[in-house]
A = this chain, B = another copy of it.
Amino acid sequence: MPSRDLRSALAELADIDHAAKLMAWDQQTKMPAGGAQERGEAMATIERIAHELLTDEALGELLETAGEEDAAIARVMRRDRDRAVRVPSELAADLARAAAEGATAWQRARAESDFAAFAPYLERNVELCRRYAACFPESEHPYDALLDRHEPEMTTAEVRSVFGRLREGLVPLIETLTARSAPPQLTASFPAAEQRALALEMLRALGFDDEHWRLDKTVHPFLAAIAPTDVRVTTRFAEDSLAGIFGTLHEMGHGLYERQVDPALARTMVGTGVSSGVHESQSRLWENLVGRGEPFWRHWLPRAQARFPEALGAISLDEFLRAVNAVRPSLIRVEADEATYSLHIILRFELEVALVEGTLAVRDLPEAWNARTRELLGIEVPDDAHGVLQDVHWASGTIGYFPTYALGNLIGGQLWERAHTDIPDLDERIGAGELAPLREWLGQHVHRHGAKFTSAELLQRTVGGPIAVGPFLSYLKGKLSQVYGLEL
């Protein structure tokens, strides 16, 4: 029974991945700091074992002879395996080591806003990423191979084209809104315990239960799906804003994707989200398209007011929506609003492509960053800590990931439009506090398939076409017109 053998091999890989994910979750939520070095060693060993199993020749043969019922699974695995085999294990080890060293150097450099101290590490990461890209000489563009690690089968040319249209739509919109005075921010204090209680109430409405979920504190929030039956949201509540509430909805969006994968795909390595872009579509959809919308707060604002009577007692729904949807070009990506966010991504995409192409040198990066921030967002970068040093991605060797955040916005817009067609009273349901209809729709059309289809195939099945800019821009214009009370 070759099908049985293939399933065993995939289950073994999935089990190792289970251990790796638990180790990573624990590292960021529970592990005493003193355990860091041994954890790093143990994680590296587990990674290495997984890589050896994936590149094992016997698995290759099993994949070649996979039967009909395992065809979809075998296709994805064959692809992952073929790519893993192409990268010499020395290079893989160098990439991992340079990533760890780079992340440590970055923390110091950011604290002191000292790009020069960080530059050698970034040069090393760029160099290694170029060597990684060179393992795939058939690619049209060297950045293709890096992008493919996070958004399989998407190309640099496609992203360029999509981002061009996105920028064209966003820039005039943001200019119009920036010309008007920005809505007042929420400046009150929101006790963390109350934020947690409110967030948990929202998560439960979304499908969180104690049988399969956890909510823990961390410094940089993330979602860990140890298994489809064991999904862990992490979060951080700062008392000066409600950002933690939106962050929690974001991670829950990732979590629902993993939780709702077809149980038949469990322990096959395709029982997980298909790509970073589709994953971000889920998190950003719940955070923004649902979570910053009028229907959502129609239900939840009275509940928030009961928990924060001083801060929100006197606010109207309109005022609240203006505050949480204010468009203001700003320096820091993770604090950016829904409209300007994608411009932060476009900037990073352009610069990392140039680094990989070799048309931009690392030493010239800060200047390029500041100039492009001026052009795209119209603001001045005061120092590198608030500019080129703000994100950990490049420091940890993650080149090729940034685009997926903006692709997620676009896919989210497409799914949102389609869900409204399929569920005509969707807004009314959300306004009544019912989040299950959308969750179930996403489960049916996106989540259950796991990684069985490529992102492109999934989009074709679900929205009937490729990734597109229109739905996200229409959604954004519609919402902001309403919030700002003007025709955009």
Contact = CB atoms under 8 A, between A and B. Distances in A.
Given A11-B41, A45-B12, A230 B32 contact: yes
Across the A-B interface, the 8 shortest Cβ-Cβ residue pairs:
A35-B230, A15-B45, A38-B227, A18-B42, A34-B212, A15-B42, A34-B211, A19-B19
A31 interface: yes
Interface of A: 11-12, 14-16, 18-19, 22-23, 26, 30-35, 37-39, 41-42, 44-46, 49, 210-214, 226-231, 266-267
A144 to B, nearest CB: 34
A26 B34 CA distance: 18
A46 B13 CA distance: 10
A227 B35 contact: yes
7 contacts: A14-B42, A16-B49, A18-B42, A22-B23, A30-B30, A30-B214, A32-B213
Given A35-B227, A38-B227, A39-B226, 17 more contacts: A15-B41, A15-B45, A15-B46, A16-B46, A16-B49, A18-B39, A19-B23, A19-B42, A19-B46, A22-B22, A32-B210, A32-B212, A32-B230, A34-B229, A37-B229, A38-B267, A39-B227
A13 to B, nearest CB: 9
B32 A26 contact: no
Contacts of A231: 32
Given A23-B22, A26-B26, A229 B15 contact: no
Contact of A212 (B35, B229, B266): B35
Nearest to A228: B38
A32 B267 contact: no
When all copies of this chain in the complex are counted, the total is 2
Contact of A34 (B34, B35, B37, B230): B230
A26 B18 contact: no
A211 to B, nearest CB: 4
A173 to B, nearest CB: 42
Contacts of A32: 210-214, 229-231
Nearest to A44: B15
A44 B15 CA distance: 9
The CB with the most chain B CB atoms within 10 A, among A12, A16, A42, is that of A42
A256 to B, nearest CB: 15
Nearest to A211: B34
Contacts of A44: 15
A53 B414 CA distance: 49
A44 B213 CA distance: 23
B19 A226 contact: no
A19 B15 CA distance: 11
Contact of A211 (B33, B38, B213, B226): B33
A214 B42 CA distance: 19
B230 A31 contact: yes
B38 A266 contact: yes
A15 B16 CA distance: 12
The CB with the most chain B CB atoms within 10 A, among A23, A26, A35, A212, is that of A35
Nearest to A26: B22
B267 A39 contact: no
The CB with the most chain B CB atoms within 10 A, among A226, A228, A230, is that of A230
Contacts of A212: 32, 34-35
Nearest to A48: B12
The CB with the most chain B CB atoms within 10 A, among A33, A34, A213, A267, is that of A34
Contacts of A227: 35, 38-39, 42
A171 B126 CA distance: 75
Nearest to A31: B230
Given A23-B22, A26-B22, A39-B230, A16 B45 contact: yes
Contacts of A22: 19, 22-23, 26
Contacts of A229: 32, 34-35, 37-38
A41 B211 CA distance: 18
A28 B149 CA distance: 35
A261 to B, nearest CB: 12
B26 A38 contact: no
A70 to B, nearest CB: 19
Nearest to A213: B32
Contacts of A39: 18, 226-227, 230
Nearest to A49: B49
A222 to B, nearest CB: 16
A230 B31 CA distance: 7
A45 B11 contact: yes
